[in-house]
Structure 1
Amino acid sequence: MVDGGIAEPFDVTTVVLQGDVFAPFLLIILVDYLLGKACGPDSRVVTCPRQSRRYPAKLLNDLDFADDIALLESSSPRAQSQLSRTANAAADLGPIISAPKTEYMTINCQPQPPLQVYGNPIKHVTDFRFLSSMMGSSASDLKRRKALTWTAFWKLEQLK
């Protein structure tokens, strides 16, 4: 789009290298377009079931930055359906979801059946690091931060 109108198509003759300052911006555009293609009216995933009229169900509409974090009700077939639609839309655009590099975490439930992408199972984990924080529990996050603090403190001794 240029000045609010659709421009003429053109061939892409160069690429953006990893680490280029423009790469994150282009990734956001790609992911937004991809998820717009993948999401349908029934694509919402329940992340917390309805408790009462006062506490309605919490729903996840898309899997933005799914390679980093997404909380899914893995027992729901809609979670697998959403992941499959996203993987298919991604494959149509060029990028693919790497099953060996993808992990998912559930809270207070065991995944039944495990989620899959392109027919390959995705690893279920109980904890993982996201933006330097441990996501499984506050205790594991505090333990990690304490260890990092002590590591930095003991490195100061080398500055003498």
Structure 2
Amino acid sequence: MLLNRIHGLRHGLTLKPRICKRFTATLVTDADYADDLALLSNTIAGETTLIHALKKAASSIGLYRNVKKTESMSVNCQGQIKTSSGYALKQVDQLFTYLGSNIASTTKDVDIRISKAWSALKRLTVVWKSNISNNMKKHFFKTTVETVLLYGSSTWTLTKKLENTLNGTENTRMLRAVLNVSWQEHLSNAQLYGNRRKITDVIKERRVRFVGHSATKVN
């Protein structure tokens, strides 16, 4: 109900330009997840209109928007977005983190995910040092650490350098830590990895699924 009030304003981010009267432009005004709301527009003026409309719509049903927690990010345009009361929204750079992912830089996001994955791995040292089987450790690693590493990976654009970094981090260093294999021990990939796939192959599969899911939603 709240967002229905702003969808008819003809402001938003253009996904498909207008072709003719029969085929109008396709606009996206918002990207939502749980209680997080991102308003999108092609222009500063359009974004300002959406911000004002959101406040009006929220007030009409007894909701309040915290302007101090509201932030703005501009790409290839300049300008200040202000609320209807004149409050200037905080501007963030293109390294902004939204829903746990850096939305403008794959390189930065990969660095963040690797750091978080290592933190998750180290918190489970007692598991890796235990006497449970290596197969069980690998399974536990996949469900607890690999999920942290791969969060948001379906939107990554990977270079060869990033692929090597991910494969080296996940399939070599982390796996050695999980299996208690010293870097001084020389093992073949078959011995260390077993039937595990490269982490970049898993990411490619996730990207294909994401594209298919997005295409289905559009159609």
**Percentage of matched positions with identical amino acids:** 23
Q: Deviations over 1:126-146 (max 9, x none)?
A: 233333321121111101001
Conserved 8 A contact 1:71-1:106: no
Structure 1 length normalisation: TM-score?
A: 0.60
Aligned partners of 1:101 and 1:121: how far apart in 2?
A: 12
Structure with bigger helix share is 2
Matched, 1:73 2:72: no
Conserved 8 A contact 1:47-1:59: yes
Matched, 1:119 2:89: no
Partner of 2:54: 86
Which runs of 5 or more residues in structure 2 are unaligned? Answer: 130-219
Q: How many matched pairs? A: 120
Partner of 1:43: 10
Q: Deviations over 1:92-129 (max 9, x none)?
A: 1111221110112233x2431x1122421111212333
Distance 1:80 1:71, change over 3 A: same
Rg comparison, structure with higher value: 2
What's the Cα RMSD here? 2.9
Partner of 2:30: 63
Report matched runs for 1:1-160 at 5 Å.
33-40=1-8, 42-47=9-14, 59-60=27-28, 62-63=29-30, 65=32, 67-75=36-44, 77-107=45-75, 109-112=76-79, 114-117=80-83, 118-126=85-93, 127-159=95-127, 160=129
Aligned partners of 2:115 and 2:63: how far apart in 1?
A: 37
Aligned partners of 2:111 and 2:96: how far apart in 1?
A: 13
Q: Between the two structures, name the one with larger relative contact order (CA 8 Å, sep ≥ 6).
A: 1
Aligned partners of 1:37 and 1:57: how far apart in 2?
A: 19
| Letter in structure 1 aligned against 2:88 | P
